[in-house]
Structure 1
Amino acid sequence: MSESIYLVECATAEQQAAVDELVKQFLLSDDKLASIIKEFRRRMEEGLAADGRVLKMIPSYVSERPTGSETGSYFAIDLGGTNLRVLRVTLDGKGGVKTEQQKFMLTEEAKTRTLFDFIAQSVETFLDDRNLRPTGQQPAISMGFTFSYPVQQTSINSGILVQWTKGLNVPGCVGRDVVRLLQDALLRLGLRVKVAALVNDTVGTLLSAAYTDPSSQMGIIFGTGTNAAYYEDISSVAKWKGTNPASGEMVLNMEWGAFDSDEFAFLPFTPHDIKLDRKSINPRKQAYEKMISGMYLGEIARNIVLWLADQRLLFDGRSSDILNSMWSIDTSYLSSAVTDDSPALSEIQQIIEKTLNVSNSTMADRRIFKIISVLVGERAARLSSVGVVATLTKRPELLDMPINIGIDGSMYEHFPDFERILAEAVSRFIPEPQFRNIRFSLAKDGSGVGAAIIAMLATKKDI
């Protein structure tokens, strides 16, 4: 981004000085990124050595790679915070995938009381509507279960729930095996369905990418939240106490959104980040996620806007009930602002005056709002490179061959320039010719497809 983007025509000297201060806080030098990458690698090593570290590095019990030649139809359940998807995934044997899916909105009763019965009933509806329910001598259907809540995984198809997050709070489940709870609910309906694999969404994203491109090494979600999974050499996982898999590898769920949550010492915290963290429902947790994921970027921008308004450097000090409310600036508003190149910045004017209800914005107000959006988005994309570089350089021997990184999520897919800025930042630390071997690919809806693929692998081979 050229420096001229940060010059505000018609701005007062005080307004320009405040913008310059924001630029200093949010534009990260390569040296700063390098120091964060070094610390990220150190935290990865800690998580590989022992449980209870800030980067959890959780073994997924997935140790195989699909070849792309597998065929057949497989099933998956993908549980989100607001809805549930049941999928039938058909593999064509040439790396191609066809999906048929049905969404079920989670009821309030499901979120607080009857979740596993609700899931079982949804599976029953999906199968019965398509005449797929096994009868007579037909074999049971194997299903993968994408469950993106904190679990202590104990095998490919078992895991103990640590806590509920994302708006779910079903009593009597914490400390119990979620696969067993679901399997019992399926049995109560007389459904011959076996839950063959418990899958984190990033692990699913990786396996979905790996079916399409066997060189896939990482699966990442850059969306409402962020996390990653990758194939690690099992000999590097010092805390692993099980039998070493024949492949010599294990997919690890990194839970990387928690990076630096214990110390707050390495990420580039500004007063606006600290304020967001302090007022969030999970203070001093998910520090990395709060700087780079879609749930939080709009709120960081709102904090900056209010900071400027409080100094009468934006909107002449005016605000509104909407602007004063947490989460009132959605990250999608930043996307719109970044791409508004109209002479009067009319889309930004619409956001400020109609959506946020702050009347009579000036051209300087709109330019500053755009700069805030650019800075928050660019910092997110450059910081996202930290986890990518740290993970890829953990296994440097792989950088001399093609590596695909499957990425899902709204930030990667929709936020303007996110993909380009991320790739550029990675190239600063993994230069040519190795950077040429790295391919970033969109693994859309990868979590559900990957869960079905893992169920297929688990059924065919003890993974």
Structure 2
Amino acid sequence: MSAWLSRKVSSLALNEIVGNDEQKQAMKDLQNEFEVTTDKLRTIVNQFIAEMKKGLEHNGATVAMIPSYVTGRPTGMETGTYLAIDLGGTNLRVCQVSLNGNGEVSIQQQKYRVPEPLKVGEMRALCDFISDCIDSFLTEMGTDPMEQVLQLGFTFSFPVNLTAINRGNLMQWTKGFACAGAIGKDPALMLQDSLRRKNLKVRVAAIVNDTVGTLMAHAYRDRSTFMGIIFGTGTNAAYYERMDRIPKWEGGQTKGDEMVINMEWGAFDDERRVLPVTVHDNKLDRESINPRFHIYEKLISGMYLGEIVRNVALSLIDRFLLFNGFSSAEFNKQWSFETAYMSTIEIDASSDLDETKRVLESILGITKTTLADRQMVKTICHLVGVRAARLSAAGVAAVMSHCDLLQKDCCTAAVDGSVVEFYPNFSETMTKALKELFGEDVDKKIKFAPSRDGSGLGAAVIAMQVSKGM
């Protein structure tokens, strides 16, 4: 929690902006455009609940609500050593996880940056890269994969329609990936084929969504954990659902009376019914590699927030309300304004906004910004960031309402990802929105607990459960 609490927003009221009347009016208009009122939140939550029920009832719904085949809750007493890999955004993470019982674990891991060409190349090449990384990792750890078959949990952070705990078909790519020869195919099987070609005795025991992994990792330590959420490059959530509330389940009898559901909530409201989508969001969506898909994710995720700020700023530049109408070659590039810059600017408390000036001038090449320019950019960052957190809270609130958690003892939502960890006041802003919806005592019913890099541990926990006959 410390990372969340140490980076406070340095707020700036609109009336403090030293710009002219037209600039101040532009900021007021933006405030109205990006505001998510409590009433609007309620509307979004109600629609979210309705979409969740559709996804549980039948396949092909916008919010897919994919059964994960994970049915048990770990006790925290399990032991053993397992492999896990986590493929999601920028990096591939390879882990060797030792479960030591009493909720204790030890992890050895290595991160490998995924080359950009592999994200849009052939799926076979990506799988070969993963296998090579596993081979290198095992060599570095001194583990001989020829002595015994190693059980592997494969965290694959993309929508997969599972047909078994270690089998499924890729539905679509997200988060900047667009590998050919993968849609409709089984990523676990393709990786297993690659491992076999390289003579590695590694068995893909489970294919796991990162949110399911985050949930299971924290559940090994805390049995009150009911939900896992990723707020990072992309966003998604998973939670425990009662089997009798999954009408579309056709997998037969299960050992338990509940199953983890991978919501795939990034696609919520792709029909554009209730989300407050602006022209700036539409520009981002239109220029993305997956236009008209995953609009919820695009409003709240680290991959996109900086680009929304850049689009807003460009619109003001075109109106000669920002930077005196001048941009820069760097600022004109798509994705050049990183979400990390928003965090830097949000916590800039200097009277002259010196850190904001450094980002705009030294990094992005915009010349001679005025204090009013910097104040306006700071305000834009704040508006986009607050909207993201409040919309994120709507998804959490929908799960809480659907599962009737307000009538139960306090539950834990395990969270991971760069946005919730590093973006200032993100969790506090979510909690504030939940209090508007459910009352001041809501923090007695749900607590957010960091589960940093939890998806790798969670995949290992699930591999353990599979190996022991989950």
The one-character-per-residue Cα deviations of 1:407-432 (angstroms, maximum 9, x if unpaired) are 00011000011111111111222335
**Equivalent residues in 2 for 1:114-153 (5 A)?**
114-134=125-145, 139-153=148-162
Question: Which residue identity lines up with residue 379 of structure 1 in the other structure?
Answer: R
Q: Aligned letter for 2:190?
A: L
In structure 2, the residue matched to 1:176 is 185
2:215 to 206, 214, 231: 206
Distance in structure 2 (CA, Å) of the matches to 1:365 and 1:460: 60
What is the CA deviation profile of residues 304-340 of structure 1, one whole-angstrom value per residue up to 9, with x for unaligned ones?
1112122221112222222222212111111111111
Q: Which residue does 1:333 correspond to in 2? A: 341
- Residues 66-117 of structure 1 show CA distances to partners (whole Å, capped at 9, x for unaligned) of 1112222221122234432221112221222221012233454695343323
Question: 2:184 and 2:294 mapped to 1: Cα distance?
Answer: 22
Distance 1:368 1:109, change over 3 A: closer
The separation in 2 between residues aligned to 1:249 and 1:47, in whole angstroms, is 16
**1:153-184 per-position Cα deviation (integer Å, ceiling 9, x unaligned):** 11001112334455555554443322222223
TM-score normalised by structure 2 residue count: 0.92
1:317 aligns with 2:325: yes
Specify the code of the residue in structure 1 equivalent to 2:100: D
Q: Is the 8 A contact 1:79 1:147 kept in 2?
A: yes
Alpha-carbon distance in 1 for matches of 2:378, 2:332: 19
1:412 — aligned with what?
A: 420
Question: How many angstroms apart in 1 are the aligned matches of 2:126 and 2:344?
Answer: 37
Deviation at 1:234, TM superposition (A): 1.1
Contact 2:435–2:441, Cα closer than 8 Å, also in 1: no
Alignment of 1:47-446 (within 5 A): 47-107=55-115, 108=117, 111-112=121-122, 113-134=124-145, 139-166=148-175, 168=177, 170-262=179-271, 264-396=272-404, 399-431=407-439, 433-446=441-454
Contact 2:175 2:303 in 1 (8 A): no
Do 1:8 and 1:364's aligned partners in 2 also have CA atoms closer than 8 Å? Answer: no
> Aligned with 2:443: secondary structure?
helix
- Give me the whole-angstrom Cα distance separating, in 2, the residues matched to 1:450 and 1:4: 40
Structure 2: segments with no counterpart, 5+ residues: 1-8
Q: Which amino acid aligns with 2:251?
A: G
Is 1:448–2:456 an aligned residue pair?
yes
Structure 2 match to 1:18:
26
Q: Secondary structure at the match of 1:243?
A: coil
CA distance change for structure 1 residues 190 and 133 in 2, over 3 Å: closer, same or farther?
same
Paired AA for residue 16 in structure 2: V
Does residue 1:28 correspond to 2:36, yes or no?
yes
Q: Report the Cα distance in structure 1 between the residues aligned to 2:341 and 2:370, rounded to whole angstroms.
A: 18
The 3-state SS of whatever aligns with 1:160 is strand
Q: Distance in 2 between matches of 1:3 and 1:102?
A: 38
Q: Is the contact between residue 114 and residue 170 of structure 1 (CA under 8 Å) also seen in structure 2?
A: no
How big is each residue's C-alpha offset from its partner over 1:133-156, in whole Å with a ceiling of 9 and x where there is no partner?
2556xx522111111233221100
In 2, distance between residues paired with 1:170 and 1:269? 28
For the Cα contact (< 8 Å) 2:10–2:349, is it kept in 1?
A: no
Match of 1:7 in 2: 15
SS at match of 1:98: strand
> Contact 1:392 / 1:399 at 8 angstroms: preserved in 2?
no
Amino acid at match of 1:161: L
**CA positional deviation for 1:376:** 0.7
User: Could you tell me the TM-score, scaled by structure 1's length?
Assistant: 0.94
Q: Deviations over 1:256-310 (max 9, x none)?
A: 0111112x12011122112222222221111111111111111111111112122
Task: Give the conservation status (yes or no) of the 8 Å contact 1:144–1:199.
Answer: yes
Q: Distance in 1 between matches of 2:376 and 2:405?
A: 45
CA contact (8 A) 1:234 1:244 kept: no
**In structure 1, what is the equivalent of residue 4 of structure 2?**
none
SS in 1 for 2:378: helix
| CA–CA distance in structure 2, aligned partners of residues 270 and 230 of structure 1 | 30
| Contact 2:10–2:347 (8 Å) recurs in 1 | no
The 8 Å contact of residues 116 and 181 in structure 1, kept in 2 or not, is answered as: yes
Give SS of 1:53's match. Answer: coil
CA distance in structure 2 between the aligned counterparts of 1:3 and 1:79, rounded to whole angstroms: 36
Mapped partners of 1:381, 1:109: distance in 2: 32
Q: What RMSD, in angstroms, separates the aligned Cα atoms of the two structures?
A: 2.1
* Segment of structure 1 superposing worse, 374-383 or 190-199: 190-199
